[in-house]
Amino acid sequence: MNELKRYEGGCHCGKVRYEVELDLGKPVVSCNCSICAKTGALLAFTGAEHFQLRSGEDALADYQFGKKRIHHRFCGTCGVRSFGSGQDPDGREMRAINVRCLDGVALESLTLYPYDGRSL
């Protein structure tokens, strides 16, 4: 059963702010691919319909690499990558939220799911 809860989050300097509905009772992805390993991202995924960018569209930059399936969005001022966008395996628009960028989330309460993105 999905237990969606509303969270607010954003980048370090505060230019990029968003609201998102997530189920953080599910395991959060700890990926070892090159970008996640270097940035320390912990990812939770949700449909695009559960994500609302509140401010900072003009501050966002986009980075893609490899197969260029994921848009790694980051603040052009502070450099923090607080979310990304792409499609799930069914072709549905999704958002990958860096849980470290959510306000008030106790990281120690999360269950981590190690994902071997390095092997893709």
Domain at 74, CATH number:
2.170.150.70
Domain contains 112: no
Q: What b/e string do you get for 16-55 counting C-beta neighbours within 10 Å, with b at 16 or more?
A: bbbebebebeeebbbbebebbeeeebbbbbbeeebbebee
**What integer pLDDT is reported at residue 1 of this predicted model?**
54
Domain contains 95: yes
**What integer pLDDT is reported at residue 30 of this predicted model?**
95
Give the domain extent around 80. Answer: 5-105
Tokens of 104: 């008030």
**What integer pLDDT is reported at residue 67 of this predicted model?**
80
> For the whole model, what pTM was predicted?
0.91
Q: Mark the ranges of the chain whose per-residue pLDDT is less than 70.
A: 1-2
Domain contains 14: yes
Domain contains 77: yes
Domain contains 115: no
Backbone angles phi, psi at 98, to 5 degrees: -80, 105
Domain contains 44: yes
Domain contains 65: yes
Q: In whole angstroms, what is the distance from residue 15 CA to residue 58 CA?
A: 9
**What integer pLDDT is reported at residue 26 of this predicted model?**
94
**What integer pLDDT is reported at residue 89 of this predicted model?**
86
Query: How many domains are contained in the chain?
Result: 1
51-55 vs 17-22, strand pairing mode: antiparallel
- Give the count of beta carbons closer than 10 Å to the beta carbon of residue 1: 4
Domain contains 38: yes
